[in-house]
Amino acid sequence: MQTRVRTGIRILKELSKSLIFFALFVVIVPVLIGMVAGVPVAKILSYIASTFVLQAAAPPLGGPLGIPRIVILAIMASFAVGIILTILELCESLALTSGRVSRWIENVGNKMEKYPVTKKYGAISCIMIAWIPGIGLYGTPIIAWILGWNRYLTVLFTTAGFVIAAAFVMFVVNSIHNVQDVLILAFVAAAVVVTIVLLGKFRQRRA
């Protein structure tokens, strides 16, 4: 009985921390940043709502809302920190509520002990994982948690990757001025994809 009570308290603690992180970094800090920059709260909240859906592709929407570029990147960084910490806390609470998940994570951790270099430096790869479509900001902390990567490094490198991706999107959008630029960019992207596919098939044949 006491064990269940303690577990329940720990679960509530993790959930409370996730709510605090979410409210602080996803809402409060971005609103304060916007207020300092003279941006209305309603516009900041609208931008945050867009970021939930578009993630790193949201920066182009900041311009029409009158949000300066540096403020956009600051909001993206705070948003990323809040989402990462929230997801990590939710993962911890999930492990506490499910014995199967807890045992599975323990088994993964035991296997990772065989590769200390991966466990020590794996969090660095979060910079690139945050760019992968379908994973992005929401999936990266889950992967890091499952593999037992350092929490603080996970937050640092995932946030860095997310902000870099956002800055890249902002740069590309601001560099495109007409339909011809869009077509050229699409052609280059298609050429890169085709090249990667052909190289993959060529390597498979040689193997």
pLDDT tens-digit map of 61-117: 988 889 998 999 999 999 999 999 999 988 888 776 766 655 655 565 555 555 555
* Span 154-183, average pLDDT: 78
Q: What is the pLDDT of residue 195?
A: 63
Q: Could you tell me the two tokens for 1?
A: 């009985």
**Residue bearing the bigger pLDDT, 90 or 200:** 90
**What angle, rounded to 10 degrees, do the helices at 136-147 and 99-112 form?**
70
Domain parsing of the chain, residue ranges: 2-175, 177-207
Distant-in-sequence, close-in-space partners of 95: CB < 8 Å, separation ≥ 6: 101, 102, 105
Q: What is the pLDDT of residue 41?
A: 94
| Rg of the chain (C-alpha set) | 20
The chain-wide mean pLDDT, for the chain, equals 79
